[in-house]
Structure 1
């Protein structure tokens, strides 16, 4: 899931004149908007997209457009509601955000969404985005049903002082050998546990989901056939994490729960998976007292990966599909995505944004002044392709594998927990 944070303050100075903004992703006047009459558009998002100042700006640039923003706090209920409204054939906004973990749930319903290459501005071309991000916005017939917003390139965050106390390397270069592969990561974790008696990582599901996302094929193949029993990488990842749990490496916390949040400040664990949006989560929960103790490194076991990010879609329910597509195109242009990054830390998926000085020179003093923009831009380029997510993929992750791993942390045998995974995944996809 995509758990975006609040209040990330990267030093980005953006000065983009109105004319250039209007020219990117749909001109100054909204073509097809009914001869100058006012067009009312709605947009639905969840958590934090950084659109609070962008939507009024779009209205100023397009006086004939009035936008109503429907914003939901949690992604789970939002996406359940989305599916309900799709089935009902009414109630959806003109522009609808969909998180990448739930995008699979609408791909098999893609006939209910517009092909953005047909209704969107013609100057919006595939090279606006990282190739894997663009490709993941298509359905199985190659129709583009989602414009990419943000991404979540993976890195690792760790407590420098805790690693140093265990006589392990703690500087960004020194830890790279520890984090080079999952074998080296778990080996370092065992050393840490043996020397300190404390937990190495925060929550088992965080690691497991990252490992599964690195596989060429996930829970479902491109024909939407469940691979839980035929894809050895899934079982291997489950076994490796289960072994680490039994070795005492897990803090046995539920990600994003209250104890997990306080664990950042209390030093309850030494490492955590850090997609770009997690930096704000770390800062918010670890607090000012731990500034400088946390570090982030571009080393990630077995290369790179992505966790999080979303798309903007235009359902066929929309009465103004062309205008809706123009709004979605403008919001996902590099200039606007940089502003969203500035406002909420949402990391851009646009190639031009990833090479901009504003992003590459952005630093975070909480993590020792590291150039976080440059670090995550490099991590994003390590992702070669997006793993196909079939219908039910997000539900398997949230409602099947994560509870099964928590049960191992509570004493269930890995064999019994794995059987829960197999049976649960079959129920989701039957």
Structure 2
């Protein structure tokens, strides 16, 4: 990911004042008052994988000499989420600022009483319009309580191998390929043509595409009453039929995402296209390696018009002894200029409206992907997302632990009907 030399400078005015602290009444009236300017405060910040905060933490401490931050960083998101839920149930052990991945946000929102409302205790200068509207709204529970400040996002584009498409007689220029990726029907039709011509797979795994398709629907696995919709959700049924039909035509490489075999598949040219949230560019570069530089391309198109896959939020659990200071830290870390710096450091794509208009981001290019203007491209894709799909409790578990294994069983030879029944039965078991 291309890096920048200069950060974006914005006047945000997020310092807590006596007036703003006094205005944070309502349902959070029992929240401790903010510490005095000379009172020493120790805060903990828990994140997973890469948030790009390593240089930001000492910067914040320099700006706030009375604050000391301990950063707990975990390598993998799955174990991190399990540990977070265990500590939440135990009533102790969570950090003052706890990061939550988008895929696990529904579980946190269902336990929103255990988290502070950031719209009540956060700095007064942090308005909803700091973020893309869909990102901000997804951080609220059913009653409008703001549980998290948005960090990064994963707007969807399509990555593909230019050389493999060209060898199959398909368009390969980033503009010329857009019609292939306009709809799921056109995408799978192009895949059938590619597979018939080459005998090779079009995409990496059925689950990766199915998850994207389900997330584009107005209603996903659960409705707003937290009732399971799978059996009667025509959109999910149609997505299942299209994906499994593509599997039957040989379009899937049948690789489990993030497995060793999947990682190796990038180097071995095991598939020609990849559903590509912004953060996937780094994965492709790492796994495909320098030998494939320039062979991969990314285009501002995605079947069905776009979507989001990934991203996180910063929350302040009620376990925190310093919730107002924690909220101020979370607000500072999610300000546009800090998110630009995180993008500079690790490639995390910002969710803040002003950051998406920043020349530094819009002019960012990536030589590995043929010099593509990735900042402008993904900013365009981010603005195509209209509103967040409601995610009820266990939504992420249905996707990861039920739908994906069911599709893998189809890839390994089970019938589409048997795989569907496995999805239905597994989702019922998980939500009963």
**Which TM-score bucket, shorter chain as reference?**
over 0.9
TM superposition shift of 1:266? 1.2
Instruction: Please give the per-residue CA displacement for 1:368-418, whole angstroms capped at 9, x wherever unaligned.
Output: 101000000000000000111100000001100000111111001111111
1:22-421 matches, cutoff 5 A: 24-26=13-15, 32-421=34-423
Looking at structure 2, the residues matched to 367 and 333 of structure 1 have their Cα atoms a distance apart, in angstroms, of: 29
Q: Tell me the CA shift for residue 34 of structure 1.
A: 3.3
Q: Distance in 2 between matches of 1:13 and 1:313?
A: 30
Instruction: Specify the alignment match of 1:4 in structure 2.
Output: none
How far 1:156 moved relative to its partner? 0.4
> Is 1:190–1:249's contact at 8 Å kept on the other side of the alignment?
yes
Displacement of 1:66 after TM fit? 0.3
Counterpart secondary structure, 2:287? helix
Unaligned runs of 5+ in 1: 1-7
* Matches of 2:71 and 2:325, distance apart in 1: 15
Q: Is the 8 A contact 1:204 1:250 kept in 2?
A: yes
Q: In the TM superposition, what is the alpha-carbon distance from 1:14 to its structure 2 partner?
A: 1.8
CA shift digits 1:34-62 (9 cap, x unpaired): 35121000011111111111111100110
User: CA offset at residue 108 of structure 1?
Assistant: 1.4
Query: For residue 5 of structure 1, what is the aligned residue in structure 2?
Result: none
Conserved 8 A contact 1:26-1:330: no
CA displacement, residues 99-149 of structure 1 (integer Å, 9 cap, x when unaligned): 111000011110110000111000000000000000000010001110000
- Give the corresponding residue for 1:11: 3
SS in 1 for 2:180: coil
Contact 2:128-2:136 at 8 Å conserved across structures: yes
User: How far apart in 1 are the matches of 2:340 and 2:37?
Assistant: 32
- CA-CA distance at 1:16 after TM superposition: 5.7
Q: What SS does the aligned partner of 1:177 have? A: helix
The answer to whether the 8 Å contact 2:103/2:310 transfers is: yes
* SS across alignment from 1:395: helix
C-alpha displacement at 1:239, in angstroms?
1.4
Is there any run of 5+ residues in structure 2 with no aligned partner, and where?
A: 22-33
Distance 2:366 2:8 in 1: 23
Which shifted more, 388-397 or 231-240?
231-240
What SS class does the counterpart of residue 263 from structure 1 fall into? Answer: helix
Looking at structure 2, the residues matched to 219 and 15 of structure 1 have their Cα atoms a distance apart, in angstroms, of 40
Distance 1:11 1:92, change over 3 A: closer
Superposed CA offset, 1:236-293 (max 9, x none):
1111111111100000111111111111111111000000000010111111111110
Cα distance in 2 for residues equivalent to 1:141 and 1:106: 14
